[in-house]
Amino acid sequence: MLVALKIENFALIDHLALEFQAGLNVLTGETGAGKSIMLDALDAVLGGRVSQRMIRAGEKRGVIEATFAVTDRTRQWLEAHEVPLAGDRLVCTRELTAGKNTVRSRSRLNGATVNKPQVEALRLHLVEITAQGQTLQVGDPQMQLYWLDGVGGTAIAQQRQVVATQYEAMVEAQTALERRRRAEQQRQDQLDLFDYQWQELSAVGLADPNELIQLEQEQQRLSHAVELQQQSYQVYQRLYENDQDGTACADLLGQAVQTLEDMLQYDNTVEPILDMVNEALAQIEEAGRQINTYGEDMETDPQRLQEVQTRMSQLKQLTRKYGKTLPDLIDYTQEIQASLALLNGEGQSLEALEAAQQAAQAALAKACQKLTKLRQKAAKELEASLIEELKPLAMERVQFQVSLTPIEPTITGADKIQFRFSPNPGEPLQPLAETASGGEMSRFLLALKACLSQLDVVNTLVFDEVDVGVSGRVAQAIAEKLHHLGRSQQVVCVTHQPMVAAMADAHFRVGKEVIEQAATGASKKSKSKGSSANDATSERTVVRVTPLDDAMRRDELAQLAGGQSHQDALSFADALLKQAKSLRQM
């Protein structure tokens, strides 16, 4: 639900911070007081259209911030779209910046920048606004389908699952058939190509992805065998046995050992040094023996060198030809083998795949047919209940129909849903979004929400003057329906009706105030004491919203009710509050 709304420099609002409650929240005030500006701000922060006039005159930047309590359904959406979430709050922010002839905006969710389509998708989980004929969901066929299926309850939910399962099976069968048909069309060409490639690659005996690297290493060793022999002998001479004029490393270390042993007779502290030199001598002698063996075993092998170079040339030629590395070429050889098996008819035949696809399609059609019958039954229930809900809302002779049109089967069935509506006797039924006026659409949605209050479509419902043009019995019926909706979903309502306002769980008064604004941009209340005629000030109009306590509510309801005298209006307000308290306790 909507927890808080903060607005800065939006239209006539300079700064505003409100906290909303669960249940029914109402906004009242004189016509033109700025109530719709509040709804415009809420619409804008959730991805609605913005224009330069929405930024307060004289300002370059406006900010709207709406805080929502997060439900499990909303949390799943946020996690799926990788939006950061700390605790159970979601902060939606939209910054508006004035350009030369346009306005730039940036949206954030919990501080993370998001694009407009993401915000619009999230909006369907958070708020439904009906303001001046604006309805985002009522005309959406997918939402109409969701509402209709909700009326059908468990039976439709279970059958939708059956349809979804059959649809996936049909898609799988169709995909297999189409894949085979494409393969059949290109079969001979592909068969020739793959057979040629298989013969060429399998004849080479590709197996080890590291073979080319190993061959390159062996080629280097064979190409430099004589040089390696000479170098190994030089190392041996210097380490172990030098037949030249110099002394070998092992001889030098042996002399050092002899000297240290002599020193040890007089000072045993040199014993650790002696141990280290003995260890070094042992390692030098072992290294000398190993390098000697290496040189003796090193032989030139021109024939093996030729074999290595031939194999390397063969592998490199294939990798260049196919444009692949050796490991990728080995994988490709295996893919060719599998493709040949398919092209040669291994697996299901084309006839078997066609039969499987037809069977899956028939099963899907049967499941969709059963789902359609359940929806037809639910449509009758929704039509009857919605018309009953609309009667007390000054729409006694309204006609409403849920139209089901056959379409190609989808994962949700084979029905296109359309709400059709006629507010006046003798007029034909037309699509709801094209026929209903703003007031009719608001009352229709109010009645629909009353029918579907058990469905958690959105957390917050917003109505702009849903009670316009009604009074007395109808106004009271609207008030009770709004209160009833507020028990399962948060409701925010702009109203001029004291009967509706009396039912509120939270009541806000919206009004305009003229302030004096200094040349520096600082503001102070108009006509304040001590002001000078020479002060550089100008008057500005701002919107103020005041949460009302019980006493203030009484006065506001009296103001809405009017009457022959103020006392009569207060008495009427007291009666409304008493009646509302009784109704809320039922």
The pLDDT, as a whole number, for residue 17 is 92
Q: Which residues have CB under 8 Å from 321's CB, separation 6+? A: none
Q: Which residue has the tokens 């291994």?
A: 346
Q: Which residues have CB under 8 Å from 53's CB, separation 6+? A: 11
The pLDDT, as a whole number, for residue 522 is 47
The pLDDT, as a whole number, for residue 8 is 92
- Evaluate whether 267 touches 257 at the Cβ level (below 8 Å): no
Vertex 39: Cα angle to 35 and 44 (nearest 5): 140
pLDDT along the chain (586 residues), means of 10: 92 91 91 83 89 87 92 86 85 89 89 89 84 62 87 92 95 89 74 84 84 81 75 79 74 86 86 89 86 76 80 86 88 84 68 91 96 96 91 84 94 93 86 74 79 73 78 81 87 89 91 74 46 61 90 88 73 85 77
User: 3-class SS at 554?
Assistant: helix
d(CA 398, CA 402): 14
Q: Nearest to residue 344, comparing CAs of 496, 488, 190, 471? A: 190
The pLDDT, as a whole number, for residue 377 is 95
The pLDDT, as a whole number, for residue 191 is 78
d(CA 262, CA 275): 14
Alpha-carbon torsion (175, 181, 185, 189), positive or negative:
positive
Q: Nearest to residue 133, comparing CAs of 200, 2, 36? A: 36
The pLDDT, as a whole number, for residue 524 is 47
Burial of 460 from C-beta contacts in 10 A (0-12 / 13-18 / 19+): buried
The pLDDT, as a whole number, for residue 530 is 44
The pLDDT, as a whole number, for residue 426 is 82
**Phi/psi of residue 256, each to 5°?**
-65, -40
- Evaluate whether 494 touches 463 at the Cβ level (below 8 Å): yes
- Evaluate whether 110 touches 385 at the Cβ level (below 8 Å): no
Q: Which residues have CB under 8 Å from 92's CB, separation 6+? A: 45, 46, 65, 66, 67, 68, 107, 108, 109, 119, 122, 126
d(CA 194, CA 333): 9
d(CA 464, CA 430): 24
pTM above 0.85, yes or no: no
The pLDDT, as a whole number, for residue 161 is 95
The pLDDT, as a whole number, for residue 529 is 41
